[in-house]
Copies of this chain bind each other. A is one copy, B any other.
Amino acid sequence: MGQGSESHDVETDTDGRTNDAAPVALESHLGYQLKHLQTALRSRMDETLRPLGLTTPQYNCLEQLRRRPGASNSELARGAFVTRQTMNTLLRGMQDRELVTRPVKADSGRVLPTRLTPAGERLLDRAASRVEAISDRMVSPLDEETRTMVTEALGLCIAALEAPENG
């Protein structure tokens, strides 16, 4: 093995006392776990989607579209946690590949309702089953009760972070 793999036991507390200044193990920080898991999930999704010519953001967009047919660009952006501009770029690419369609001109307002094409739906079906396999693998160590508890807990964290600070 290389010299980069040595153990770093910074958090080992030999005398058992709690130390205010001592850094807690990173693995006990939710934020760190979050980033770690997200990174791992993203990697697996990209891997499994690559054979289909899709990236994870593109898949997310298609999935949004299945749930909200005719959604606007801005709406999709909010649902995928990216900016309008990013979603716009994503949609352009998928329009060129005939996976989604958008009217050239808006019926009313400026909203251009986007929809999946039949080809887009077919590709999404294939992608979804692959992604589901990854998702299942991710939660496989958790029993049903734990899964719902974790999901609910994360929902509470989201709400706490998105709530206005103090006014």
Over the window 135-147 of chain A, the binary record of Cβ atoms lying under 8 Å from chain B Cβ atoms (1 yes, 0 no) is 1011111100011
Q: Is the CB of A102 closer than 8 A to any CB of chain B? A: no
A116 CB, min distance to chain B CBs, angstroms? 13
Number of interface residues of A (CB under 8 A): 58
Residue of A111, A154, A161 ringed by the most chain B CB atoms within 10 A: A161
Contact A3 B109, CB 8 Å, known A38-B35, A66-B23, A147-B30: yes
- What are the 5 closest A-B residue pairs judged by CB atoms, nearest first? A141-B156, A40-B161, A33-B154, A39-B81, A138-B157
Give the interface of A toward B (CB within 8 A): 3-4, 8, 10-11, 23, 26-31, 33-41, 44, 63, 66-68, 71-72, 74-75, 78-79, 81, 109, 111, 134-135, 137-142, 146-147, 149-151, 153-162
25 contacts between A and B (CB under 8 A): A3-B109, A3-B111, A4-B74, A8-B67, A27-B151, A28-B151, A30-B154, A31-B135, A33-B151, A34-B34, A34-B37, A35-B38, A36-B158, A37-B157, A37-B158, A39-B81, A40-B161, A40-B162, A41-B161, A134-B161, A141-B157, A141-B160, A150-B150, A150-B153, A150-B154
